[in-house]
Structure 1
Amino acid sequence: MGSLIGVAITFVMVFGGYVAAGGKIAIILQALPFELMMIGGAAIGSLIVANDAHVLKGTARDLGKAVKGPRWQKADYGDLLCLLYALIRIGRRDAVAVETHIEDPAGSPLFQAYPRILAEPEAIALISDTVRMGMMNYDDPHQLEAMLDRQLEGKLRQELHGSHALQVMADGLPALGIVAAVLGVIKTMASIDQPPEILGKMIGGALVGTFLGVFLSYGFVAPLANRIRGIVEADHKFYELIRDTMVANMHRHSPQICVEVARQNLPGGLRLSFDELDTRLRETPEAA
């Protein structure tokens, strides 16, 4: 919602200020469809040329993220800490018991208590694989941390492709606006025998291309790319929390310390207080 409000403010302030200063909006409206077809069409075509189908689909999904905002909220991080705490406690007590949970998460009462996490296959796979490695006596915390770092870095790099593609589009829009303006000037020069008032309108229409390219780049597409990047990086904290907890578990800290280390690494807006987390841990299905 915040993104839509920002877009509305940008359009109202730019065009409202133009009209308030005495500008004639009719010239812009007359040239806008043709300039937008040239600039927007060239930008979309360049996006398709530069990226494969996987990136294009991801970019389309990212546009929805810009409207919805980050997927994971403060309560979700609390749920994840409780789930990891319960798995660590069960695993320390009975390796066979924890295996039943990670081999069939969908049928596990423990995972079923947190449906939003259960609906995220990548998070479930990361948790299950890391717990399984501990059961296989892969107990070097430094190697595990290095492995998880590489895995998460690759995941983040892949999820940022859409933001990067949009940023490249934003960088090219001003130049495409100049292309559209030059074509407008060529059209004007072909009508040089027309009266000055007609030539003035044609030149004004040509300059709409330059304006539109710069406006779309810095007023819309570049901020959109930046917002998507911020959302992707914010949601990535969810997976970093899994890494921090599991690495602490490999160091054989107590379950409480494992989740506390992860809690401390969360950004302030997503971090539960110590008392909030302690209350949540006491209410986990495993603790009960």
Structure 2
Amino acid sequence: MYLLIGLIIVVVSVVAGYTMSHGEWGVLFQPAEFLIILGCGLGAFFGSQTKYTFSLIIKSLKRLFADPGSSKTRYLETLAMLYALFTKMHREGVISIESDVERPESSPIFNKFPAIAKNTVLINFIGDTLRVYLTTGDPADIDSLMKVDMQTIHEEGMLPAHSVSHMAESMPGMGIVACVLGVVLTMGKINEPPEVLGHHIGAALVGTFFGILCCYGLFGPMGSKLENYEAEEHFYFNAVKEAVSAAIRGATPLIAVEYGRRAIPYPFRPKFSEMEDKLKS
């Protein structure tokens, strides 16, 4: 939503500013320039991908006009789910959650929180960690394992953002390519009157304008949006990590989720009393 609004503001600003300056719109309409810039840019972008990275980019397209859903409610629901899991561990022993982590789709605990449970990456992150602890009974390396898992998830999520950002950075260069070709064509008309030459030079400069606009007004914001999306998800997973790590170290369920609450960014962090009310409910 924010990306769409931003793109509309960019377009309206360019259109309004050019119109206020009494610019001729026919001069800006240069399909050949647009074809060269977008074709070269997208071609180079596609050529730099692997099958794996391209599949990640396709999957990430839905993030461009979506929101991670970071909210106090989402964090409270997650803390409540973890509290229920930790309470069962604390009262009935660690082995009691074996069925929950082995078959999360049929777990009564996870099914109480369908909005959270549909995030299969998160559920696997929690389940795999607890499964290792169930198998080894050793909490020593669990925190490091979760950090490795989070780092992998984060780096994978950043690949599409970096790819789009690199494409954005190439656009001014592609605009120069189109501009130079326009100048070459203009040189072939050097004997034409000044008004004709002026028209062709203006058309050539449209390539530079369009390339820079694509970089900073179109593809650049897309890359930044994907980065910000992944950053919010990383905050979310870090809060879960802190809670799970504390529970495995032997903290009581309430203290464990308090570790998670303290790792939540301030705009979404519930007060302790709010968390306590949620856990009681």
Name the TM tier (shorter chain): over 0.9
Find the aligned partners of 1:70 and 1:125 in 2 and give their Cα distance. Answer: 18
Q: What aligned pairs does 1:101-120 form with structure 2 within 5 A after superposition?
A: 101-120=100-119
- How is 1:43-54 mapped onto 2 (pairs within 5 angstroms)? 43-54=41-52
Contact 1:156/1:236 (8 A) holds in 2? yes
For 1:59 and 1:73, the matched residues in 2 are separated by 26
**Structure 1 residue 54, shift from structure 2 partner:** 2.4
Query: Cα deviations across residues 237-276 of structure 1 (Å, max 9, x unaligned)?
Result: 2221221111111221111011011101111122112111
Deviates more, 1:143-152 or 1:154-163: 143-152
Separation in structure 2 between the aligned mates of residue 131 and residue 93 of structure 1, nearest angstrom: 16
Q: Could you say which residue in structure 1 is the equivalent of 2:190?
A: 192
CA distance in 1, matches of 2:178, 2:189: 17
* 1:39-64 Cα distance to aligned partner (Å, 9 max, x none): 11111111111111222232233332
- Distance across 1 between alignment mates of 2:10 and 2:27: 20
Tell me the secondary structure at the aligned position of residue 96 of structure 2: helix
Question: 2:211 is matched with which residue: 210, 213, 220?
Answer: 213
Correspondence 1:90-109 to 2 at 5 A:
90-94=88-92, 95-109=94-108
In structure 1, runs of 5+ residues without a counterpart are: 284-288
Structure 2 counterpart of 1:135 = 134
Give the aligned partner of residue 20 of structure 1: 20
Q: Return the alpha-carbon distance in structure 1 between the equivalents of residues 71 and 190 of structure 2.
A: 61
Structure-1 residue corresponding to 2:244: 246
TM-score (normalizing by structure 2): 0.94
Query: 1:123-272 to 2 correspondence within 5 Å?
Result: 123-141=122-140, 143-272=141-270
Which of 63, 66, 80 is the equivalent residue of 1:65?
A: 63
SS of the residue aligned with 1:130?
Answer: helix
Secondary structure at 2:132's aligned position in 1? helix
The separation in 1 between residues aligned to 2:251 and 2:108, in whole angstroms, is 25
Residue type at the aligned position of 1:217: C
1:239 and 1:164 map into 2 onto residues whose CA distance is 21
- Where does residue 87 of structure 1 map in the other structure? 85
Q: Secondary structure at the match of 1:241?
A: helix
State the Cα RMSD in Å: 1.5
Q: With structure 1 as the length reference, what TM-score do the two structures score?
A: 0.92
Q: Distance in 2 between matches of 1:96 and 1:134?
A: 10
Alignment partners' CA distance in 2, 1:147 and 1:40:
43
Give the structure 1 partner of residue 38 of structure 2: 40
Contact 2:125–2:149, Cα closer than 8 Å, also in 1: no
- Give distance in 1, aligned partners of 2:14 and 2:101: 55
Corresponding position of 1:9: 9
Gaps of 5+ in 2: none
Measured after TM superposition, the shift of residue 167 of structure 1 is: 1.1
Further displaced range: 192-201 or 227-236: 192-201
Contact 1:71 1:235 in 2 (8 A): no
Aligned residues: 280
Which residue number corresponds to residue 286 of structure 1? none
